[in-house]
């Protein structure tokens, strides 16, 4: 039923034009999003929809387990473009509970290439193993690891040279760590926001025990 998607699209575009005849004309002139979203590829976490933003309002990067890997060209290109060209004012790292990527990094099963992609999450779990292994329920442990992962990615973004250069230039840029619950559709602010290098250091130094 792949054709259904194309007819859905026609209906969607017509509805948008009915509501706002200039909508696409305005959007095609330029995009000026204020937010960069770094989220998971999970189909249940549709970025624009859960924060109620229209096309043109959110610049989106998604990958498995919402990572911000310091040597991933795709991510780095998105990050640099969004900061230096689009001049986004906020970067939102959004994880989600029950993340299959985080679960796969914890369960030690071999899956192939994905194990390599998820290596940073496995390393992170190893660093927090005393805390994580004290949680007997596996799903709860996964959820706590999801929060640790958001915090780690906020730190990575906060130490990225594109970000620190922007701060040095005096550009306004705040990085946030949020987590989404697929069960109730609600986002939770993990209170990890940083908008200058000293806050990244404070975040890294802060003892932090998430309570998923």
**Binding residue (CB under 5 A) for Co ion from 36, 38, 40, 152:** 40
Fill in the per-residue mask, 76 to 105: x = in contact with Co ion (CB under 5 A), - = not in contact.
-----------------------x-x----
Query: Does the active-site annotation cover 159?
Result: no
Give yes or no for residue 42 binding Co ion (CB under 5 A): yes
How many residues bind Co ion (CB under 5 A)? The answer is 4
Please give the structure tokens belonging to residue 64: 């498995």
Q: Catalytic one among 99, 141, 148, 176?
A: 99
Instruction: Report, in Å, the least distance between residue 153 CB and Co ion.
Output: 12
Each residue 128-167 as x (binds Co ion by CB under 5 A) or -, in order, gives ----------------------------------------
Query: Among residues 20, 25, 26, 44, which one is catalytic?
Result: 44
Query: In the chain, at which residue ranges do the beta strands (DSSP E only) sit?
Result: 35-40, 58-63, 90-96, 174-180, 187-189
Q: Around Cβ 161, how many Cβ atoms within 10 Å?
A: 12
Q: In what order do the strands lie in the sheet with 90-96?
A: 58-63, 35-40, 90-96, 174-180, 187-189
Q: Which is nearer to Co ion, 101 or 158 (CB)?
A: 101
Calculate Rg over the CA atoms of the chain.
Answer: 19
Residues 102, 141 contacting (CB under 8 angstroms): no
- Min dist. Cβ of residue 177 to Co ion (A): 15
Does 174 qualify as catalytic in the annotation? no
Answer whether 177's CB lies under 8 Å from 93's CB: yes
94 is catalytic: no
CA distances from 59 to 72, 132, 187, 192, 205 (A): 18, 33, 18, 20, 30
Q: What is the number of residues in the chain?
A: 212
Active-site residue flag, 107: no
- CB of residue 36 to Co ion, shortest distance in Å: 18
Respond yes or no: is residue 40 known to be catalytic. Answer: yes
Binding site residues, Co ion, CB under 5 A: 40, 42, 99, 101
Q: Hey, which residues are catalytic here?
A: 40, 42, 44, 96, 99
């Amino acid at each position: 039923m792949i054709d259904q998607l194309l007819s859905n699209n026609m209906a969607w575009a017509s509805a948008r034009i009915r509501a706002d005849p200039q909508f696409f004309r305005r959007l095609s002139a330029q995009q000026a999003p204020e937010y960069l979203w770094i989220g998971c590829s999970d189909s249940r976490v549709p970025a624009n929809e859960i924060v109620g933003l229209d096309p043109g309002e959110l610049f989106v990067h998604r990958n498995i387990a919402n990572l911000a890997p310091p040597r991933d060209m795709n991510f780095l290109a998105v990050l640099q473009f969004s900061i230096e060209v689009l001049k986004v004012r906020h970067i939102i790292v959004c994880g989600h509970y029950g993340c299959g990527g985080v679960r796969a990094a914890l369960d030690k099963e071999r899956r192939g290439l994905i194990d390599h992609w998820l290596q940073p999450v496995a390393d992170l779990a190893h660093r927090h193993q005393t805390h994580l292994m004290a949680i007997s329920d596996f799903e709860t442990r996964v959820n706590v690891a999801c929060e640790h992962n958001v915090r780690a990615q906020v730190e990575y973004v906060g130490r990225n040279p594109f970000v620190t250069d922007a701060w040095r230039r005096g550009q306004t840029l705040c990085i946030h760590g949020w987590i989404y619950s697929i069960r109730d559709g609600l986002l939770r602010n993990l209170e990890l926001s940083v908008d200058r290098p000293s806050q990244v250091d404070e975040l890294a130094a802060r003892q932090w025990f998430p309570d998923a």
